[in-house]
Every structure is written in C-alpha cells, then in structure tokens.
Structure 1
Amino acid sequence: MSLFRWVPLDWRFEVRLAVRHLTTGGGQTVLTMGAVAAGVIVIIFLTALIFGLRAKLTNMLTESIPHVTVKVRDLEPVPLSEMSDLSSAMSSSRIEKQAPQQKNIDDWQHVVDVIRTIPNVRMALPAIQGQGFASKGGNPVGVSVVGADPAQQDMVSPVTKDLISGHYVGLASDEIVIDYELAKDLSVTVGDRIRITSSFGNTESLTIAGIYSRGQGRGGVYVTLRTGQSLFAVGNSVNVVLVKVVDLFGSDAVADRIQGLVPYEAKSWSREYPSFVSSLTMQAASAYLISGFSLIASSFAIASVLIVSVLQKSKQIGILKSIGATRKQIQRIFTLEGMMIAVTGSFSGALLGTLLVYLISLPLQPTAKPGHVPEQLFPVAILPIYVIGAVISAICATVIAAWFPARRAALMNPVDVMR
C-alpha cells in the first residue's frame, strides 16, 4: 500500500494493474526489459569506444602542437596584368615567388597582449622556430629548434610529461632538451654537451638538461627564448606566436579573430590538417548512426513483445471493459507497462554498460614511448552526457513503441473478445 500512496488517486487502478501484469509476466517481462537494456548497453559501449579512440587520436596530434600559429604573412607576387594603376595592359610570362626569408614579429609584446584578450584563448606564447644542425664531434644531424620560456612552452607543447630523464622547466640559457631519437643518433645522454648550429650559421655549445620522447619519430630540440634569439640572430624579436585554445574545435574562429586584430597571418591546426578533422567528423557521425539504428531495432523488438502481451491478455481486457473500464484506462495501463519497462531496462542497461566499459579499459599494452608507463589497450571514454542521453532516448523509444499496442488494446471490442 505504501508504494502506491504517492500515486494520484485517479491513476491507482491503472498503476496497480500494470504492476501486476509485469510481475506475473515472468520471462516475458525479463525479455522485454532485456531488449531495452541491450539497446542502452550497445549505445554506451559504442560511444565510449568511438569517442575514446577519437580523443586519443586528437590528443596525439594536437597536444604537442599549437592550436593556432601566428607569423608574418608571406606576400604573394601580383602579375603586371592585374595592376590597376598601369597606363597600358601588361602581362608576365613567368611569376616568381620571393626566396624564403625569415620574417620577424618586432611588436610581439603588443600582439601577445591582444591575443590574450580574445575569448577561448588559453595561452599565447612568443617563440623562435627554425631549422639547424646538432652535432657532437662530426656527422651533424638536422633538427628543428624551438626557443621559448620553458614554463609557458610546457602549456602549449608539453615537454615535461614526456621526459625520460632530466628536466625542462628551469632550463638555463646554456642548456638544451633533446629528443630520444636524436640522443641515440649522437650517442649522448644528460650532462653531455652538443653543438647546435642554426640555419643562419650561428653556433652554441649547450649542455643536455633533459631527454624526452613522444613516440612519434624524431622531435625537435628545446632551448630558452634568449638562446633561440641568439641562434637565429633576431635580436629581441620573435618569428612566431604560438596559441593554445580552450575549445579545440574553435581554433578556426580564434585564427580569424586574430587576423582581424593584428597584421599577421594566423593558421589553425584544423586548417592545417583538414583530412584529420574530416575523419573525426565521420567517426562521430558513425557513432550517432549506429546508436540510432540500435534504438530503432530495440524499439521494434519491444513493440513486438508488447503486442503479443496484448493478444495474450485480450480476455482480461474484455472483462475489464465489460465491468466499466474505459478506453483511456486500458490505454493507460499498457502505456504504463511500457514506461515501467523502459525505466527499469534503461537504468539496468546504463549500469551494465558503464561496468562493461570500465572493465575493457583495464587491459594495458606497452607504449611506444621509451620510459613511459603502459597505455590502455582499448582507449575508452565514459561520458556522462552520452550515458544520460542513451537512457533518455531508450525511455522515449520504448514509450513510443508501447503506445501502439496500448492503442490496439483500447480499441478492442469486448463482445468480440468474450466470444
């Protein structure tokens, strides 16, 4: 009695009868709830697997690179035929671009201050990027050189988390952090000295303060901003400003806003790697499509079972109508049955699906990064919003599926049923 005292008086008859139908249904009730639970489990499992893999791939590509890179724009040559101030039409048979030259951002303090005021920007870092050679004795090896403040650089392209030995934050002007592959090629370790020669011909002898590995082939070398400016002879200027954003997929909007505020070129990572962004979109679309078909399939199964239940209870429906039960009451009884099945099955499926995802996240595999702990064999992501979405979607789909047999039951003619 206590269970029904919270039910409105006008609904107590229908609720009692719906509960009795379900408790006496036995295996049929369990089967129907199992169909709902299976649909929820499939949705949670697929979304966790697909979005977990998506997050891992995105992190692998974008964690170690800036989301937006600001640099001096390369001017494109304009053909003579397009010059509007010429007295006579002229044309060029050959258009030659200017040879690549390093262009510096002299007012980088102002640029950084402007960029940091833009919404969605997490970090703006002045830096030096260029090419050079690393050597110990003979046999120089080509490397990319990054000069920036170590503490801020760690927030744009993390180095400390990938360190195998040594340190990066607190780097001195005569120290350098190198990649594991470069350390192998030069047969050096922390504490050894190597020579870095920039593409400008300037040379610095630096002590190795740390060795890192991202497991993605040979990486660059990291020095302080002052050392980078000295190597590439830029004075107090920089040649790039590196930007990290909060919302990864809002990089295009940030890049466009930067170009509108400062006279420099801003390139977002998503425009640099359009095929990768397209593959991420396809993965998300696949997850939604498969989840949708799973819901539809489970809805048909639920509707079929409930229709059979209506046919089995046709005599009881006839008796109920003969003693005064209205069409609305009959329809309400079977709709409530569907609602109870939906809620119980959905929450059971959510618990089992979350447990399944947690269990498959436990197996580990060796990582490709030397000196790092093993990684998940199945990269999964338990996202509460998708678990809640799966439960709500399953409940809605089940109630809709239950409405049709409920309507069929309400339209039954008691005279025909009793015959």
Structure 2
Amino acid sequence: MLEFRIASKFLRSSKGQTILIILGIAIGVSVQVFIGTLIQGLQKSLVDKTIGSSPQITVTSEDNDGSIDRWEDKIKSIKNSNSKVENVSASTDFSAFIDKNNKTYPVLIRGFEFANADKIYKIKDNIKIGREPKDENEVLIGIDLKKDASLKVGDKITIFTPKGVQKEVKITGVYDLKSSSINDKWILTTLKTSQDMFNYGDKVTAIEMQVKDVFNADVISKDVKSSLNLNDVKISNWKDSNASLLSGLSGQSASSIMIQVFVLVSVVLGITSVLAITVMQKSKQIGILKAMGIKDSAASRIFLFEGLILGIFGAVIGVALGLGWTYSFTKFAVNPDGTPVVPLYLDYKFIVFSVVIAIASACIAAIIPARKSSKLNPIEVIKNG
C-alpha cells in the first residue's frame, strides 16, 4: 500500500526522532507491564498464602447436633451440578482436650479422608516428621503442640471429649501448616476415628471445597446451595470472613489501573505532539504528493500508519523491557530463604491486552496530526516552501 510505504519512508528519514518516539512508547508500555505483572503476582501470592491451602466454600449443618448425613450423595450432587468446584472434602470436627504432665491443652479434632483433604490443605507436603494416619486411633499433631506439650512421634495420648469419652491414640507424625493457631490446636485423624470418638456414626460436620475462580466463590456458593436444595445447611465462603483482604486487593488493583492510565495518557500526548511537528516538517512533501493526485484521506492514512508502526515497535520492545524488569525484581527482592518477595506471575491475557492498548493508543494519537495533514492546501504549502 502506497500510504504505508510513504509512512515508512517518513519514519526512516528521521531515524533519531523515530527511535525516541519508539523508546517513549516502549518505556510507557514497560512501566504498564511491570506494574500490572507485579500487582498481579502480589495479589496471587497473598491469595495463595491466605486461602490457597484452605477451603474457599464450606457447607455446615444448622441442625442441633451440627451433623450432615448422606454426605457422600451431597458431594456427588455438588460435583455434578457445578464444574467450577475443584476439590471437595468431608470432615468431622469437634472440640476436645488432651492432658500431658498434669496440664490441659484444648484441641480441635479433625477427621478427614486424607486423599481428599490433602488436595485442599496440602497436608502430605507439610508433614515434617513421620507420616499421616492410616489406621484407626492414629493422629497427626501440629509442630507447636508438639513443642508445648513435649510430645514426639510414637507417643500415645488420651483425648477427652466434652461428652466424657476418652480415647487413647498414637501420634504418627508432626505437621506444619504455616499457621500457629492451627499448629497449636488441630489434631488430624481419619474420618472413621473422629466419627467413632464422637458417636457420629457415618455423619460429618462439614463439607469443604475449593473453586477454580476464588474471586467468584460467593457466586459459586449460591449455586452450591441451590444444588443441595436443603434448608438445614449453611453455606459460607472465604470472602465473607476476609473483607479486609478483599479491600486491600481492590485498592491495589485500583492504584495499578490509575498508574497505567496516566502512563497511557502521557504516551498518547507525546506521540500526538511529535507527529504534529512531523506534519509541519513534512508539509512540503505532503503538498507535492497532493499536487500529484493523492487524496486528503490518503494523506491522513500516512500518519495513521506512522502511528501504527510506532505503536507496534514500541509495544513489542516495551513488553520485553517490562518482563525483563519484573524478572530482575524477583531476583533482587528476595526473602531470607531466597524465595522472591513477589513471585513471577505471567498473565498472557494482560500482556496481549497491554500490547493492543499501546498500539490502539498510538493510532489514536495519530488522528489529530492525520486530520491536520488532510487540511493542508498543496498550492499554499508549495508556494510558501
């Protein structure tokens, strides 16, 4: 296309100016990609640390005894009715206490099917000593409870329930779920052991699950309740109890968007001003072209193509720079254990979106110079030199 070839020639004829414009766009895009990627990595890290290894939706009973019967059918119903539910686990929980060296320690007994619970809590990955319970009357304790009560793997402890039941169990392992309140209170055992200990038969006290999109947990929880079609169950989700975290994440997103908008505005203004000057610099050439028969619309397209070319080169270089800065940041900003403070997280949709926005912004920035070039009178331009 003639207009594209002329636009390319105009840009090549002013190489220094062209390089500066491309660098300006590239720096703007790189800042956008760097900030956006950094904020997304920080948000993902916060969400993973807060709820990544915990249930995001929990089903409990509102009956007097707090139990859920036919729980296996309910889990099947939840899985079959909603593809957004990822991991589902049943548990039987109750408060109890243990006695060690004439000192009482309040605990929460949690009975799991470990194959399912491990997908949520990552228990197996966080066992520091020993193994998870496999048989009845075996338990897993937290690392803080081990220290406080001077316990070790292989010890036998007696669990006392509020109903007066006493149960001797053997410690098979020690876990660390990175939460002192959990490590100090939870005693994990098999579902059968906890059911027998509290005389629950084949009932459970909670059905816990994780979802594919954690930020839609509140919407998915309503779908879960509809699929169960029961009035005696309570559905809670992580967003209900993490309002401050959600507020912080929203604030981060808002600030990131504002910074990116200001960067784009500065890029658009910069391109517009430079291309407007280019119109004046190339006015004689444009006048000659018009005198040779090029229409006003074609003259306008020359500068639109200039904006397109500048936007493409600037966007590609900017993305490369932005990703390079992000990668460098994850290598320099590290925790004492060597892990990055903010993990590298690449959202390809965001990167493509940034490229498209940068190119679109460059084209929009070229509209004013393009309209200005279309209004040039070839006779006056040639006459005045």
Deviation at 1:343, TM superposition (A): 0.6
The 3-state SS of whatever aligns with 1:145 is strand
Match of 2:353 in 1: 389
Q: For 2:220 and 2:305, locate their aligned partners in 1 and report how far apart those are by CA, in whole Å.
A: 50
* Residue segments in structure 1 that go unaligned for 5+ positions in a row: 1-10, 75-100, 368-373
TM-score by length of 2: 0.90
Deviation at 1:383, TM superposition (A): 0.8
Q: 1:175 to 1:332 in 2, by over 3 A?
A: same
State yes or no: 1:18 paired with 2:7. yes
State yes or no: 1:189 paired with 2:152. yes
Deviation at 1:385, TM superposition (A): 0.6
Q: 1:297 to 1:197 in 2, by over 3 A?
A: farther
The 3-state SS of whatever aligns with 1:117 is helix
State yes or no: 1:52 paired with 2:41. yes
* Residue segments in structure 2 that go unaligned for 5+ positions in a row: none
Deviations 1:110-138 (A, max 9, x none): 32232222212223322112222244333
Equivalent position amino acid for 2:303 in 1? F
Deviation at 1:183, TM superposition (A): 1.6
Match of 2:100 in 1: 136
Q: 1:22 to 1:182 in 2, by over 3 A?
A: same
Of the three residues 362, 371, 377, the one matched with 1:407 is: 371
Deviation at 1:67, TM superposition (A): 1.7
Q: For 1:28 and 1:237, locate their aligned partners in 2 and report how far apart those are by CA, in whole Å.
A: 75
State yes or no: 1:124 paired with 2:88. yes
Deviation at 1:398, TM superposition (A): 0.5
Q: 1:174 to 1:297 in 2, by over 3 A?
A: same
State yes or no: 1:180 paired with 2:143. yes
Deviation at 1:179, TM superposition (A): 1.6
Would you tell me which structure has more helix in proportion to its own residues? Answer: 2
Percent identity reads 30
Equivalent position amino acid for 2:188 in 1? Y
Q: 1:309 to 1:198 in 2, by over 3 A?
A: farther
Q: For 1:132 and 1:313, locate their aligned partners in 2 and report how far apart those are by CA, in whole Å.
A: 85
**Cα contact 1:131–1:143 (8 A) shared by 2:** yes
State yes or no: 1:155 paired with 2:125. no
Of the three residues 226, 242, 246, the one matched with 2:208 is: 242
Deviations 1:148-177 (A, max 9, x none): 111111012221222223222x63323222
The number of residues matched between the two structures is: 375
Deviation at 1:107, TM superposition (A): 2.7
Deviations 1:356-395 (A, max 9, x none): 222222343135xxxxxx4322234111111000000000
Match of 2:339 in 1: 375
Deviations 1:65-116 (A, max 9, x none): 2122112226xxxxxxxxxxxxxxxxxxxxxxxxxx6422233233223222
TM-score by length of 1: 0.83
**Cα contact 2:308–2:363 (8 A) shared by 1:** yes
Equivalent position amino acid for 2:62 in 1? R
Equivalent position amino acid for 2:315 in 1? S
**Cα contact 2:45–2:342 (8 A) shared by 1:** no
Equivalent position amino acid for 2:200 in 1? V
Equivalent position amino acid for 1:207 in 2? K
Q: 1:200 to 1:46 in 2, by over 3 A?
A: farther
Deviation at 1:346, TM superposition (A): 0.6
The 3-state SS of whatever aligns with 2:327 is helix
Equivalent position amino acid for 1:365 in 2? N
Aligned-residue Cα RMSD (Å) equals: 2.1
Output aligned runs, 1:250-399, within 5 Å: 250-260=216-226, 261-263=229-231, 264-363=233-332, 364-366=334-336, 374-399=338-363
Match of 1:6 in 2: none
State yes or no: 1:224 paired with 2:194. no
**Cα contact 1:63–1:158 (8 A) shared by 2:** no
Q: 1:228 to 1:402 in 2, by over 3 A?
A: same
Q: For 1:203 and 1:292, locate their aligned partners in 2 and report how far apart those are by CA, in whole Å.
A: 64
